[in-house]
Structure 1
Amino acid sequence: MHILVTNDDGPPSNQSSPYVHSLVSNLQAAGHTVSVVLPHTQRSWIGKAHLVGHSIKPTYFRPAPLTTSNGKLSNTGTTSSRPLPGHSEDEEWILVNSTPASCIQIGLYHYFKTRGPIDLVVSGPNYGRNSTAVFSLSSGTIGGAMEAAVCGVKSIALSYAFFDRNHDPDIIAGASAHSVKLIDHLFANWGEDVHLYSVNVPLVENVGERKTLWTNMLQNTWKSGSCFQEIEVPEEEDHGQEEVEMEMRKAEERQGRREQGQEGTGSGYDTPTGNGHIRYTHKHFKWAPRFKDVYQSVEDAPPGNDGWAVKEGYTSVTPLKANFMHVTGFEGELKI
């Protein structure tokens, strides 16, 4: 099978993209032809967006052999502005300065023709769960799979739900082996009217021996207010993307352990003038999603949804359609 892999976490990195190399290696070991197009940097929370008015420029990533060093996977490789010559036998992935959805377009239509048609797209594994509607609606991982689906290609969005950020190589290897087995099964037994599957694999010991469940997607909302934290205007530039990424992963880990942390706030007030206009307080805002809202919605919901399955240490498989289905019962002229 020819599989196109993308993600929203970018090229292999212990900090921001610790799982994709393991999955690709396991897919290759299972006999699949794997083509890889990834964003050149972190693109989480970007959904199915494309960057309009933006010329996409590829770079080329050569993954180093996947090894273990000091109890951690060695997620390394080199990047070049030019592709390898035609006679080279080395593995090479494509990085593009755009979104997961754009990676799918580039991968489906502009590369890999000599390998034959792409049978399946796998978007992921995401660094963190994509369970429940709140996470899924913003997910770049699911966005990539959605893009493939609207292009008429079967796709699977794959996410690894971590409970701490100590990336145990054995647990990751187990999750990847389990994922490949599940990918093969879903492709061979594709459900009627299914456009894509959203799969969440918990990073727990012996995950392949635990249950894999069909689930629905928990319908939830943000409950506690803003997902942006107000911050004072810094004298210097804002935190870099890597710093923001680290803070977000720490917050997700705290909620996975049911610990309290700082999230979005809305404490500032603007001042009205005598004529009704507003004088604004100059402030900056930092993305600080309220993970506790999602985890609490899972606690409050009955069993059977994707969030519940992951919480229990099970793999969740949610069949989806790649559309915004309308609400029935509204027909004819709307009189106002």
Structure 2
Amino acid sequence: MTHIDIEVLLGTQHPDPRSAKQLHRSQIGGSPPKDAVSANWIKDAAPQDLSALKVLLAISMHILVVNDDGPPSRRLSPYIRPFVDALQAAGHQVSVAIPARSRSWIGKAHIIEAALEATYVPPDAFREDGTWDEAYETPDENESNREWVVITNGTPASCTQLGLFNLFADRGPIDLVISGPNHGRNASTIYNLSSGTVGGALEAAICGKRGIAISFGSKDEQPIEVIRAAARLAVRVVNHLYQNWDERVELYNLNLPMRADVETRPVRYTRTLPYYWSKGCLYAEVTQANGHFTPGLTNGNSNHSDEMPEKLSNGSGTKAVNGFGSSHLKKRNFAWSAELSEMKKALQASEEGTDAHTVLNGSTSVTPLTANFSHVSGLDGPLELDD
């Protein structure tokens, strides 16, 4: 990628005689601007116009956005729409492929026994509850109705696959895949190895594309001003990482704290906090109550549980289970009921330089990763079994 020289933009040097339109994606990393502007215009432009043009020309990409929280909704998926708006405001072309329902905690899974169904939804057709009132089986001629696709039976990984190879071929090559922003943190090995958000970026990496996973670190409802501030900062970090991509890195995992001053807080490179389950099984046996079950009680507040709910619920705290109510069936039933109190203590006590410590202390963490299970050195050659 080339960078547009600031002195050229400010008119202190003679600009390249090519027009902005001739700066092809292969040279600037993204689609050419919609409105061609001549080099002479650049030289003579007003400062406020140059500022906007500098953002557009310095890095303009076709970005695929996927997530694991599903369609925009106030309660379950509040971050994706403001983030897409921020990407577009920065001059990027954005294509969105998202699962039709929440797929948190699913990792890089594909649901191979079910067909995937793509539905094109205009961005303004989404309701606050994540449903929509207008959709198309195929994209229409309106460009804005070609940007958002909802995938029935989709996962973050399958959305990445379809987005890269099927859904947006007519919109040009995709330069970068962003998975998120997730509704909650994804810090430490426990979360990252199971995260659907990280899984979407991993899928991009194994397809040979650059991937970035982004998580906004709160499940509490946030003021729109805080969400927009986090989205603006995330876009700035994305632009920087893409322009300065370390070739040793296959994907980045970002965690942003949700606070009003997030844009003025430090952004730090971090490492993943190693952590392991120390409190036994993630599931608890459930008890019968009038044909329903009540999940086991847990400690702690689920607002800090990143992608992981502490107990499974359908909104009322109970859910029907097949088999209950049939006296001749003696099935044992288990519900998600993770004990998170010890994990929360460990995250709060984590070492400086880790992703968990950084985001919990109000800074943005940027963790460079590779998409592989690295070999442990020194274990090579024949393996001698005991007699």
Letter in 2 for 1:188: Q
1:137 to 180, 185, 193: 193
Q: How does 1:146-161 map to 2 (within 5 A)?
A: 146-161=202-217
2:79 to 19, 35, 54: 19
Kept after mapping to 1: 8 A contact 2:349/2:357: no
**Cα 1:100–1:88, aligned 2, differ >3 Å: closer, same or farther?**
closer
Cα distance between partner residues in 2 of 1:161 and 1:168: 14
Determine if the alignment matches structure 1 residue 188 to structure 2 residue 243.
yes
Q: When the two structures are superposed, what TM-score results if normalisation uses the length of structure 2? A: 0.72
Residue 104 of structure 2: aligned partner: 44
1:301: Cα distance to partner? 2.8
Residue 62 of structure 1: aligned partner: 122
Residue 184 of structure 2: aligned partner: 128
1:302: Cα distance to partner? 2.0
Kept after mapping to 1: 8 A contact 2:286/2:293: no
Percent identity, aligned pairs only, is 39
1:206-254 CA distances to partner (integer Å, 9 max, x unpaired)? Answer: 1010001110000001111111132114544679xxxx9xx99x94216
Kept after mapping to 1: 8 A contact 2:310/2:340: no
Residue 47 of structure 2: aligned partner: none
Cα distance between partner residues in 2 of 1:130 and 1:254: 11
Q: How does 1:1-336 map to 2 (within 5 A)?
A: 1-64=61-124, 77-80=132-135, 82-87=137-142, 90=145, 92-96=147-151, 97-162=153-218, 165-233=220-288, 235-236=290-291, 251-253=301-303, 282-336=331-385
1:117: Cα distance to partner? 0.9
Letter in 2 for 1:292: S
Letter in 2 for 1:98: G
**Cα 1:254–1:98, aligned 2, differ >3 Å: closer, same or farther?**
closer
Structure 2 SS opposite 1:64? helix
- Return the structure number with greater relative CO, CA threshold 8 A, min gap 6: 1
Cα distance between partner residues in 2 of 1:158 and 1:88: 26
1:110-167 CA distances to partner (integer Å, 9 max, x unpaired)? Answer: 02122211000000000100000001100000000000000000010000001x6222
Cα distance between partner residues in 1 of 2:375 and 2:186: 23
Point out the more displaced range, 52-61 or 174-183.
Answer: 52-61
Cα distance between partner residues in 2 of 1:35 and 1:192: 25
Q: Which has the larger Rg?
A: 2
**Cα 1:131–1:79, aligned 2, differ >3 Å: closer, same or farther?**
farther
Letter in 1 for 2:255: N
1:78: Cα distance to partner? 3.1
Structure 1 SS opposite 2:133? strand
The structure that is strand-richer by fraction is 1
Gaps of 5+ in 2: 1-60, 313-328
1:74-109 CA distances to partner (integer Å, 9 max, x unpaired)? Answer: 977435352343256546411112211000110000
Structure 2 SS opposite 1:78? coil
1:260-285 CA distances to partner (integer Å, 9 max, x unpaired)? Answer: x9769xxxxxxxxxxxxxxx973322
Kept after mapping to 1: 8 A contact 2:71/2:126: no
**Cα 1:55–1:180, aligned 2, differ >3 Å: closer, same or farther?**
same
**Cα 1:284–1:251, aligned 2, differ >3 Å: closer, same or farther?**
farther
1:157-181 CA distances to partner (integer Å, 9 max, x unpaired)? Answer: 000001x622210100100010011
Task: Kindly tell me the number of residue pairs found equivalent between the two proteins.
Answer: 304
1:60: Cα distance to partner? 2.3
1:334: Cα distance to partner? 1.0
**Cα 1:101–1:32, aligned 2, differ >3 Å: closer, same or farther?**
same
**Cα 1:330–1:235, aligned 2, differ >3 Å: closer, same or farther?**
same
**Cα 1:181–1:262, aligned 2, differ >3 Å: closer, same or farther?**
closer
Gaps of 5+ in 1: 68-72, 265-279
Structure 2 SS opposite 1:35? strand
Once superposed, what is the RMSD of the aligned Cα atoms? 2.8
1:204: Cα distance to partner? 0.8
Residue 272 of structure 1: aligned partner: none
1:294: Cα distance to partner? 2.7
Kept after mapping to 2: 8 A contact 1:58/1:81: no
Cα distance between partner residues in 1 of 2:171 and 2:215: 27
1:289: Cα distance to partner? 2.7
Structure 1 SS opposite 2:192? helix
Q: When the two structures are superposed, what TM-score results if normalisation uses the length of structure 1? A: 0.83
Kept after mapping to 2: 8 A contact 1:4/1:122: yes
1:192: Cα distance to partner? 2.6
Cα distance between partner residues in 2 of 1:138 and 1:79: 33
